Amino acid sequence: MAQARRASDECIFMLMGKVIEHGETADTFVTPVHKETADYIEGRHG
């Protein structure tokens, strides 16, 4: 996760083959729009 945050300008979070969230990496990691993204970033899913 830390490497992805450092190495990318944009990121996409996919779950079960569907795009859940796509946006600038800094925004996605700090203020994710969807609960599924937040759960993954915080280690509660996956």
Q: Is the dihedral of CA 21, 35, 18, 45 positive or negative?
A: positive
As given in the structure block, the two tokens for residue 4 are 């992805």
Domain ranges in the chain? 2-41
- Reply yes or no on whether the pLDDT at 2 is more than 90: no
Q: How large is the average pLDDT for residues 2-19? A: 92
Task: Give the C-alpha separation, 42 to 33, whole Å.
Answer: 14
pLDDT of residue 45: 75
pLDDT of residue 46: 61
- pTM of the full predicted structure? 0.79
pLDDT in tens, 17-35: 999 999 999 999 999 999 9
As given in the structure block, the two tokens for residue 18 are 């569907």
Q: What percent of the chain lies above the pLDDT cut of 90?
A: 76
Angle at Cα 10 formed by Cα 42 and Cα 17, nearest 5°? 65
pLDDT of residue 1: 80
